Every structure is written in C-alpha cells, then in structure tokens.
Amino acid sequence: MVFSSLFFLYAFLPVCLICYGLSPSGYKSHTRIVIKNVVLTVFSVLFYAWGEPVYVFMMLGSVLVNYLLGLGVSKTQKTNHPKLGKLLFILGLFFNIGLLVVFKYSGFIAENLNRIPGVSLPVPDLALPIGISFYTFQILSYQIDLYWEKIKVQRNPLYLLLYISMFPQLIAGPIVRYSTIEAEIHSRRVTLTDLSDGFTRLIIGLAKKVVLANHLSTIVDQFFKDGSGQISVAGTWYAVIVYAMQVYFDFSGYSDMAIGMGRMLGFHFDENFRHPFMCKDIAEFWQRWHISLGTFFRDYLLYVPIFGKRRKYGGLFLVWFCTGLWHGANWNFIIWGLYFGLFILFEQMLGKKRMKKIPLVIRHIYSKIVIVIGFGIFYFEDLGKLGTFFRSLVKLNDNPWFDEVTGLSMQNNLFLLIAAVICCFPVYDSIMKLREKHAGAGYAVGVFQTVTNAVLLALSSILLVDATNNPFLYFRF
C-alpha cells in the first residue's frame, strides 16, 4: 500500500483516523492512550501486511527479539553487570545488521566474491522487505540509545511495536529516534491546529509526488532510460537536473506526508528536508537533505573508534561508505557516497573561514554542479552507462552540444519546470511566517490554505485515477 493511491487516501486513512478519533476515552488518560495505541498499532501492522504479508512476521519477530534484548540490557545496568549488558548489546547489533545484510546485501556480496578466481558461490535472490532499511535503523537507534542510557527501556511490547511499525514513517522514513516520540507514545493530544497543519502537510507532500515528481520522471525516462550515449551535452545536463528535482520531490513528498499524518495522530516527527537546493556548499546540502539519515550516521558512526582510536578521516570514510551502501547493494551507490564524502573532506580541509571568503555566486554554482553530477551517479546502477553519462556531460561521446529533442522537451514542460524550481524554495514556510507575524493576515492565509488544499487534493486525485503503479523511489531502499 502506498500513500499516493486513491485507496489509501479515501479508504484506509479516513477509516484509521475515524477509529483512532472515536476510540473510547476511558476514565483515565492512561487508558485512553492504551486504547488509541492499540488501534494505531493494528492499523500499522495491517498497512505493512497489505503489501508484505510474509515479511510482516519477520518485522514482528524482530520487534520481539529487540524487546527482550532491551529488557536484558536494562536489567544489567541496574544490577551492575556491564559485561553481560555489552554482550547483549552486541548480540542485538549482530541480529539487526545481520537481517539487513542477508536480505539486502547477500546477493551483492556473493556476486563480487564470485569474481575471485576459483570462487563460485550461489547468488541468493531474496525479495527485499519493504522499509527494512528504515525500521532496522530505528531499532538500532533504540538499542544504542538504551545501551548509552540516553533513554529508558520500553517495558510494554505493544508500545515498542507501535514505535517500529507506525505506518506514517514505516516504509520510507524519516528515521524517527525513539527519544523523539518517547513521551508522546505514553501521553499525547491532538488539537484542531494539529489536524489542520497536519492535513496541509499531507496534501503538500501528495502534490509533490503526484503533480511534480511523477511528471518529472517522464522527462528523465525519455532521456536516460536507454542510457545517455546519444544525448546532447545540454540534454544530459538538463535530464540530470530534472532527475535531481524528481528525487527531491518524491522523497521529501513522502516525508511531508509522514510528518503530516504523524501530526494528525499527535506525534511530532523531526524535519527530514529543509530546502536542500538552497545550500551554499556540500556540507550544508547534507545538513538539509535526508536529515534523519545524516544525523544517524553522525551520532552513531562518525566517532566510532577504529583500531582502538577515534580517527577523523577514517570515521569520515566509514560514514560516507555506509551512506552510499545504505541506499543500495550496488557499486554506483558506494561511489555516490564516497563522491560526496570527498567533497566534504575537501571543504573541511579548506576550512569554514576560507569557504566564506569565496564569492557566494561561485559557491552556489560549485555546489549545484557537484550535487547534480552526484544524482547522475545515483541514477545509473550500470557502471558502463555511468561512464557514458560522464562522457556525455563533457562531449566525449561525439554527441552534439544541443539537440531539437531537448529544446522541445524544455518548451513543452516549461510550466512544470518553473513550478518545480519555485517549489524548491520555502514558499509554504514563508506563508506560515506571514500568518504568525501578522494577526490580521491569519484569516486570509487560512482561506488561502483551505482553497489550496482542496485544489491540490482534487488535482492529485484526478491524476491518480489512471495510475496503476505509483511507488515512491525510496521504497526500494
């Protein structure tokens, strides 16, 4: 089941919200929360089982194992048995990372080992459980923070299951830390403002996906689906820029919908995107792009001792290697991660003071060129086609500088491209700030918000009528 489907929007979500809202309140707030948590957990498991009827049992088993390990780690902390606690913690790491390796990377590992002379291993062909990269990292963050005593153990298995399986963020993030919603799992309330702002965020995310990302993808397919050897230099740059915007609107659209639905249910997830194309350098780009993943690796991996010591450059390499590998079991993703890691290293060695002395225009041009080329690396999983792409960027394929197909595409999609560029800027944020600053503008902004929501929902619904398959890009990660 995907968010950008008519069944989800007009059947699953409304029924869930109605059942959640009408859940018996009981005589105490604790009773009310328990019932609401049960309702939300049931709908979350149903949501996952709808698309993954077999792997839902693996997720449930993973939650149970981590629940028991968490209790064990907590007990060793209270009884002062640090060695046993460390052992249980390491077992948890091996269990969770092991599941991810088996299902996501075993085929990739076997294929590469088979390139060694004399090695002939069977290559597993396992289906990748949807969302395993995201919910595994959430479980890991729970176990690590528990071991570091940053959070308290969750003694109610239902509540831990709710944290892992909550359907708004289950499939494609954001990666929500347990500490972020720990208090809200036990006590929360939903106001009219939560419902209004959450619904608006949901509709914005839906429009990003259906109106912008899906239509930008048709342009990308036209130029890149069969490789990039015959495309002009201008066409190659044009297509990869469009692809960068497609990925942004697709993934940030999902994050918006997740944050919006979480808000409607009383949860406040952290932001996952902050208009990344407004960055002035690569370090800032990664402070704005997929924030939950970046902060995960920063907090849990960057300062991990390597051979007994914290090594600055070794930690940096490890972070960007893992960032690339997390996105997929293919060499292009590893190259993509290390590519950005090299520019982060370059900027660190140059220093913030020297970076600020560079004219702002130059910094913007530099960062955008690096970013869009990075998205080209991200797109081409075939290394041969990736090489062709690089040559097409600089006219090494005997391709022309410009071609008629590129010109016609730009002309026919002019309004779509203008809308996409405008939406890369904080338009919604500016409107909300206007409402906060000027009390008199509140009513007008409210009317504008309502009308815009209705228009975007209607337009998205119309575009979804004939859509047969409408997955988000990050479902495959």
- Looking at the domain assignment, is residue 451 inside a domain? yes
276 shares a domain with 242: yes
Q: Phi/psi of residue 111, each to 5°?
A: -60, -40
Q: Of 163-172, 212-221, 438-447, where does the model show the most confidence?
A: 212-221
151 shares a domain with 68: yes
Percent of the chain with pLDDT over 70: 93
- Looking at the domain assignment, is residue 393 inside a domain? yes
Q: Is the pLDDT of residue 23 over 60?
A: yes
Helix axes 331-350, 312-327, angle to 10 degrees: 150
Q: Is the dihedral of CA 259, 423, 231, 468 positive or negative?
A: positive
- Looking at the domain assignment, is residue 325 inside a domain? no
Q: Is the pLDDT of residue 62 over 50?
A: yes
Assess contact for 99 and 66: CB atoms under 8 A.
no
| Closest-CA residue to 381 (of 293, 277, 477, 282) | 477
Domain final residue, candidates 156, 189, 222 = 189
Assess contact for 205 and 454: CB atoms under 8 A.
no
Q: Is the pLDDT of residue 446 over 70?
A: yes
pLDDT averaged over every residue in the chain: 89
Residue 10, SS3?
helix
pLDDT at 17: 94
* Better-predicted residue by pLDDT, 59 or 78: 59
pLDDT at 432: 74
- Known active-site residue 327: yes
pLDDT digits (tens, 9 = 90+) for 151-184: 999 999 999 999 999 999 888 779 999 999 988 9
Q: Confidence band (pLDDT; 50, 70, 90) for 440? A: low
pLDDT digits (tens, 9 = 90+) for 415-426: 999 999 999 999
| Closest-CA residue to 268 (of 172, 184, 158, 203) | 184
| Closest-CA residue to 249 (of 13, 473, 1, 6) | 473
Cis preceding linkage at 174, omega within 30 = yes
Angle at alpha carbon of residue 122, lines to 117 and 123, rounded to 5°? 100
175 shares a domain with 199: no
Domain final residue, candidates 150, 166, 189 = 189
97 shares a domain with 207: no
pTM of the model: 0.91
Residue position matching structure tokens 């460390």: 86
219 shares a domain with 180: no
- Candidate list 81, 215, 290, 327, residue with the active-site label: 327
CA gap 425, 288 in Å, rounded: 12
Domain count, the chain: 2
Give the pLDDT mean for 236-258. 95
Q: Confidence band (pLDDT; 50, 70, 90) for 312? A: confident
pLDDT at 439: 61
137 shares a domain with 262: no
Helix axes 132-147, 55-78, angle to 10 degrees: 10
Per-residue 3-state assignment (H helix, E strand, C coil) for 84-140: HHHHHHHHHHHHHHHHHHHHHHHHHHHHHHCCCCCCCCCCCCCCCCCCHHHHHHHHH
CA gap 261, 197 in Å, rounded: 10
Q: Is the pLDDT of residue 28 over 60?
A: no
Give the pLDDT mean for 341-349. 94
- Looking at the domain assignment, is residue 1 inside a domain? no
Q: Is the pLDDT of residue 305 over 80?
A: no
- Looking at the domain assignment, is residue 323 inside a domain? no
146 shares a domain with 52: yes
Q: Confidence band (pLDDT; 50, 70, 90) for 27? A: very low
431 shares a domain with 285: yes
263 shares a domain with 405: yes
Domain holding 80, by residue range, is 6-189
CA gap 277, 367 in Å, rounded: 9
- Looking at the domain assignment, is residue 337 inside a domain? no
pLDDT at 26: 47
68 shares a domain with 203: no
- Looking at the domain assignment, is residue 202 inside a domain? yes
- Looking at the domain assignment, is residue 344 inside a domain? no
Residue type (1 letter), 96: N
Q: Confidence band (pLDDT; 50, 70, 90) for 320? A: very high
Give the pLDDT mean for 218-239. 86
- DSSP of 444-462, one letter per residue? HHHHHHHHHHHHHHHHHHH
CA gap 293, 131 in Å, rounded: 14
359 shares a domain with 270: yes
pLDDT at 476: 65
CA gap 425, 427 in Å, rounded: 6
Distances (CA, A) of 232 to 63, 367, 400: 51, 23, 5
Residue 306, SS3?
strand
204 shares a domain with 144: no
Domain final residue, candidates 158, 189, 220 = 189
pLDDT digits (tens, 9 = 90+) for 190-204: 888 899 999 999 999
Which residues 6+ apart lie within 8 Å of 337 measured at CB? 320, 321, 322, 323, 324, 325, 327
CA gap 130, 55 in Å, rounded: 8
